[in-house]
């Protein structure tokens, strides 16, 4: 049986602000909103292909990982080369600077410093390599 990703959960201080970034800047669609017993927004779930990105409210200080860190340290979204170029331009005009860029992938930060990648890297079958 092949396993698939069900969801990624990310703790954030400002759920609304971070959800707005992923929806308005990166084009993710909102699936659901959840509220606590006081009616305060607790989480927003976003469509991420066949999986979900769950933005969950937390009171912890944001953790910024540079490079590779212990545990999850990056959310990489699959985009075409054309989408990558368009998203890079849109993010730049809205004040989101690129952390770095490779041949296939551009790296940015969401409003709370979580690292986000826009990757046009071709996902090849096992034992094969990308065309370019």
CATH fold match for the domains 1-59 and 73-132: yes
What stretches of the chain show up as alpha helix (H) in DSSP?
A: 15-20, 81-93
**Which residue is associated with the tokens 């959800």?**
19
Asked if residue 129 has pLDDT above 70, the reply is no
CATH class of 1-59: alpha beta
Asked if residue 84 has pLDDT above 60, the reply is yes
Domain ranges for the chain = 1-59, 73-132
CA distances from 85 to 53, 80, 105 (A): 23, 9, 10
Q: How far apart are CA 52 and CA 7, in angstroms?
A: 4
Q: What is the pTM of this model?
A: 0.87
What length does the chain have?
Answer: 132
CATH class of 73-132: alpha beta
Lowest mean pLDDT segment, chosen from 15-19, 106-110, 128-132: 128-132
């Amino acid at each position: 049986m092949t396993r698939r990703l069900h969801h990624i959960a990310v703790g954030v201080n400002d759920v609304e602000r971070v959800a707005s970034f992923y929806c308005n800047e990166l084009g993710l669609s909102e699936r659901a909103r959840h509220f606590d017993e006081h009616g305060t927004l607790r989480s927003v779930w976003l469509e991420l292909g066949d999986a979900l990105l769950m933005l969950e409210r937390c009171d912890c200080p944001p953790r910024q990982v540079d490079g590779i860190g212990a545990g999850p340290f990056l959310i990489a979204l699959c985009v075409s080369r054309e989408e990558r170029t368009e998203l890079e331009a849109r993010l730049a005009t809205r004040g989101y600077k690129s952390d770095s860029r490779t041949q296939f992938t551009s790296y940015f930060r969401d409003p709370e410093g979580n690292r986000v990648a826009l990757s046009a890297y071709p996902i090849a079958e096992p034992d094969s390599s990308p065309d370019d």
